[in-house]
Amino acid sequence: MTPGEQMHALVERLYPLCRSITGDGVRDTLKILNEYIPLAVFEVPTGTSAFDWTVPQEWNIRDAYIADTSGKRIVDFRESNLHVVGYSTPVNARMTLDELRPHLHTLPEQPSLVPYRTSYYAPGWGFCLAQDVLDQMPDGEYDVRIDSTLDDGHLTYAEHVVPGQVTDEVIISCHTCHPSLANDNLAGIAVAAYLARSLEKPWYTYRFLFMPGTIGAITWLSRNADRIDKVKHGLVLACAGDSGHLTYKKSRRGNAEIDGVLRHVLRDREHEIVDFSPYGYDERQFCSPGFNLGVGSLSRTPYARYPEYHTSGDNPDFVLPSALDDTLTVCQEALSILDRNRTYVNLNPYGEPQLGKRGLYGSLGGRSDAKDAQLAMLWVLNQSDGEHSLLDIAERSGLPFSSVVAAADALRDAELLKV
C-alpha cells in the first residue's frame, strides 16, 4: 500500500467513532492513533479554568433514535453518529411530529445529506436527518430517545513528541472533536500521524497535538503558557484529503518563517495562499494577540468551501489517497526546509573569494546541475550577510532550496561561511 492508501485506511477505521469535544469517542480515537505513534494522553477535569474558558462537562452517548409507533427506527444513531446533535441532553418521550420539528435539522438545499450540528455550550437536544427522510415522515406520534450523559469528567488531548537536536519546537496541530467527517477532520489526523512517523533525527523538536477544536487549543495553551517561547513555528492541518488544490493560510504575523516556507514549497504547484483571519481552525488560538505565534494552516479546499463540508457527504469516499499523499509530501518538504534553513555570514566578504583553489569548482565537474550549483554558491556568498536566510536566498534567486543548502554546506566546509 502507498502512504496515501495507508492514511486512507486509517481514515476509514476512525470514521465510525462518535467524537466530540470530550468523551469516550475521543479516547477511542487516541487509542487507535497510539498504534501508529506513541501518545502521551492528558485528562483535564471539568471545571478547570483555561483563560476565559472553563473545561465543560463530559458528554457520552450510547444510542439514539426516532421511531414510529411500530418500533421502526426512522432516524438511527447506529447508522450514523451525525444523526444526533452533538452534546444533546437525554430524551425519552413520545411526541407528535409537530412537537418534534423544532428539534430536527435538515439541509433543504441538499435534501439527501445529513447535516452536522452541535450544541456544546447551550444545553439542548436535537436530531439531524436528510430532508428527503423528513418529507416522508407522516403526521402522528413518534418515540424519541437519546441515551446520553452529560456529567463532570474530563477533556482529553494527546501529544506525540519527536525529539530534535535543539529544544526549540515546531507544533503540528489537528482537531479530534468531529464525529464521522472524513476530510474535516480525519484526513488531517491521518496526515499528522504519518508525518510524525516520517521524521528521523530532526533539527527542531516536533510536538504533534491531537485535541478538540477551540477549547482544546485554549486549554493546551493555558497549560503550556510558561514554555510557549520554545514554539518557533507551527502548522494546523485540516481538510487535508479532498481533490482540491492546496491552500495555505498565513499566520497572523504574515511574515513568519513558516509563511515563507509554505510559499516556497507551493510555488511550483497549483495552490492558493490566503491572509490570516480570526476565523477557522486553531491557528486563531495560537495566533491570538497574547501569543502571536508563527503558526499557519494548511488544507486543501478550505472549510465551508465544498458542498460536502459538515455533512454526511464528507465520508471516506470523498477523501482521496492521492490527495492525502500530496498533502503529506508538502508537509514533509516544508519541515525539511524549516530544519535546514539557516542564516550565514560570509567570512570572506571583500570581493568574490577564489573558489577554484578551494576545490569548489573542480568538485562540480561533470554534474548535470553544475551551472545551478555554481550559481547557488555565488548567490549564497553574496547574500550571506547575517540578514538573509537560505530560504530568502532561494526565493530571491529562484533556485531550488536544496541547491542553496548544498552550496551553503560546501562553502561552510571550505570555511567561507559561518552560522
**Are 283 and 236 within 8 A, CB to CB?**
yes
Architecture of the 3-56+154-339 domain: 3-Layer(aba) Sandwich (3.40)
pLDDT at 355: 81
- Residue 178 counted as an annotated binding residue: yes
> Per-10-residue mean pLDDT for the chain, 419 residues long?
97 98 98 98 98 98 97 97 98 97 98 97 96 97 98 98 98 97 97 98 98 98 96 98 98 97 95 95 97 98 95 98 98 97 92 82 53 86 94 93 93 91
pLDDT at 369: 56
The one-letter amino acid at 237: L
Other CB atoms within 10 Å distance of the CB of residue 41: 15
Instruction: Name the grid cell of 253.
Output: 504575523
Among 341, 342, 346, 343, residue whose Cα is nearest residue 416: 346
pLDDT at 354: 82
- In the chain, residues under CATH classification 3.50.30.90 are 58-151
Instruction: Name the grid cell of 237.
Output: 492541518
Contacts of 225 (CB under 8 A, 6+ apart): none
The three-state DSSP-derived secondary structure of the chain is CCHHHHHHHHHHHHCCCCCCCCCHHHHHHHHHHCCCCCCEEEEEECCCEECCEECCCEEEEEEEEEECCCCCEEEECCCCHHHECECCCCEEEEEEHHHHHHHEECCCCCCCCCECCECCCCCCCCEECCHHHHHCCCCCEEEEEEEEEEECCEEEEEEEEECCCCCCEEEEEEECCCCCCHHHHHHHHHHHHHHHHHCCCCCCEEEEEEECCCHHHHHHHHHCHHHHHHEEEEEEECCCCCCCCEEEECCCCCCCHHHHHHHHHHCCCCEEEECCCCCCCCHHHHCCCCCCCCEEEEECCCCCCCCCCCECCCCHHHCCHHHHHHHHHHHHHHHHHHHHCCEEEECCCCCCCCCHHHCCCHHHCCCCCHHHHHHHHHHHHHHCEEEEEHHHHHHHHCCCHHHHHHHHHHHHHCCCEEC
**Are 335 and 17 within 8 A, CB to CB?**
no
- In the chain, residues under CATH classification 1.10.10.10 are 343-418
- Residue 325 counted as an annotated binding residue: no
58-151 homologous superfamily: Domain of unknown function DUF2172 (3.50.30.90)
**Are 261 and 330 within 8 A, CB to CB?**
no
Architecture of the 343-418 domain: Orthogonal Bundle (1.10)
User: Bridge partners of 209?
Assistant: 159, 173
CA atoms 158, 163, 164, 169: torsion sign? positive
Cα gap 334→295, rounded to integer Å: 13
Contacts of 264 (CB under 8 A, 6+ apart): 337, 391, 394, 395, 401
pTM, 2 dp:
0.95
pLDDT at 270: 95
- Residue 264 counted as an annotated binding residue: no
The one-letter amino acid at 353: P
Among 180, 184, 185, 189, residue whose Cα is nearest residue 160: 189
